[in-house]
């Protein structure tokens, strides 16, 4: 999710402004549908495995496992409370303000996913 989050933040969402007004609504609808098919399963696996690790953490890694679960839950919260409403706002047509709102929400998610990636690496380091 870290790599996908940064790709979307740096490459994909900035391109929304280049789609054009007459094609934006259909483009955005197609983007949302296809992205959901890619992201929802991965986010779900991330959440379930993070919670499983928090419930049964590796020896000496309880704090990291709890932090990972908290960060996974946070990405779902940021998605539900930030990205989804921002996408709904863009569903009726492009606006620079709507895109800026989406990009702010997405940047925060990318940062949280990056922190979660760091936690996962730290968890792996405790096991070697």
Tokens found for residue 83: 């990205």
* Confidence band for 20, pLDDT divided at 50, 70 and 90: very high
Residue 127 has pLDDT above 90, yes or no: no
Q: At what angle do helices 62-78 and 96-126 cross, to 10 degrees?
A: 160
pLDDT in tens, 74-126: 999 999 999 999 999 999 999 999 999 999 999 999 999 999 999 999 999 99
Q: How far apart are CA 93 and CA 104, in angstroms?
A: 18
């Amino acid at each position: 999710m870290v790599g996908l989050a940064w790709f979307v933040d740096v490459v994909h969402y900035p391109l929304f402004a280049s789609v054009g007004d007459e094609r934006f609504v259909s483009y955005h609808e197609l983007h949302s549908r296809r992205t959901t098919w890619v992201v929802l399963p991965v986010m779900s696996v991330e959440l379930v495995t993070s919670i499983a690790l928090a419930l049964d953490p590796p020896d000496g890694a309880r704090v990291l496992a709890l932090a990972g679960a908290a960060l996974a839950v946070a990405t779902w919260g940021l998605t539900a409370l930030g990205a989804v409403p921002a996408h709904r706002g863009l569903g009726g047509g492009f606006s620079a303000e709507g895109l800026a709102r989406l990009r702010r929400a997405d940047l925060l998610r990318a940062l949280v996913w990056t922190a979660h990636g760091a936690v996962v690496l730290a968890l792996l380091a405790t096991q070697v």
